[in-house]
């Protein structure tokens, strides 16, 4: 009887490992930087997730008591990448989530900065003409 009770308690959601609930990736069209958010469903203790950015780089995240962690990553070149989050380590979260992301390269960022500077210069020139 005690053995059955222990099995029921250990199998209950309270003792189940947290699960990776979602993965979202937000890219800036003019920048090689992305914001990655990973959310876990809390049903127990802490868990660890490995986020691979699809460009050979990644980061391990300890969720502790948090349910959402947000990371920023800058890609060295533009392109299409697959970001993946999966449980890892001594206390892995359950599940795997993937998301595709299209990233502007550093050249696009420089071009956007150059365009912004030209607009400022143009606006300053017009202001001087009015004076």
Residue 9 has pLDDT above 60, yes or no: no
In which element (H, E) is residue 124 found?
A: helix 106-130
Secondary structure letter of residue 65 according to DSSP? T
Which pTM was predicted?
0.68
**CATH number for 14:** 2.60.40.10
Residue 26 has pLDDT above 60, yes or no: yes
Using an 8 Å Cβ cutoff, are 100 and 24 in contact? no
CA distance 83 to 50: 10
Residue 82 has pLDDT above 70, yes or no: yes
The number of folded domains in the chain is 1
pLDDT in tens, 93-114: 999 999 999 998 765 556 556 6
Residue 41 lies in domain: 2-130
Instruction: Tell me the pLDDT band of 90, cut-offs 50, 70 and 90.
Output: confident
pLDDT value, residue 125: 63
CA distance 93 to 89: 9
């Amino acid at each position: 009887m005690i053995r059955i009770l222990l099995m029921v308690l250990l199998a209950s959601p309270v003792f189940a490992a947290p699960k990776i609930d979602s993965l979202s990736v937000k890219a800036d069209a003019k920048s090689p930087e992305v914001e990655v958010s990973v959310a876990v469903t809390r049903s127990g203790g802490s868990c660890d997730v490995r986020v691979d950015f699809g460009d050979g780089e990644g980061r391990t995240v300890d969720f502790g008591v948090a349910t959402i962690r947000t990371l920023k990553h800058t890609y060295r070149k533009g392109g299409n990448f697959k970001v993946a989050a999966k449980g890892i380590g001594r206390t892995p979260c359950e599940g795997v989530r993937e998301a595709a992301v299209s990233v502007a390269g550093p050249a696009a960022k420089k071009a956007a900065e150059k365009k912004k500077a030209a607009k400022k210069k143009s606006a300053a020139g017009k202001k001087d003409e009015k004076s």
